Amino acid sequence: MKEYDIKQLRIKSNYTQEEVAQETGVTKDYISMIERGIRNPSDKMKERLAILYKTTVVEIFLACQRTKCCTEDKRN
């Protein structure tokens, strides 16, 4: 399985942040914060993203973790 961060999963699924926000019932700003590693999505949100991106909740969780690691590395 190729490793993706959460933004790459969205892009791979051909969605804009606006479309993801509309489909999951949150704001574009919230999606942006998840993708930048500022916010951690709830389990329910991870489920919604997994359905939308046609992947598993585990992959969404791992992608969020990789996003956080990448974001933390950039700050150092």
Would you say 17 and 35 are in contact if contact means Cβ atoms under 8 Å apart?
yes
Given a cut of 90, whether residue 3 has pLDDT beyond it is no
Summarised one tens digit per residue, pLDDT across range 15-55 is 999 999 999 999 999 999 999 999 999 999 999 999 999 99
For residues 17 and 52, the answer to whether their CB atoms sit within 8 Å is: no
Q: What is the C-alpha radius of gyration for the chain, rounded to an integer number of angstroms? A: 11
- The terminus-to-terminus CA distance of the chain in angstroms comes to 28
- The pTM for the full model equals 0.85
Q: With H, G, I as helix, E, B as strand and everything else as coil, classify residue 4.
A: coil
Domains and CATH numbers, the chain: 6-75 (1.10.260.40)
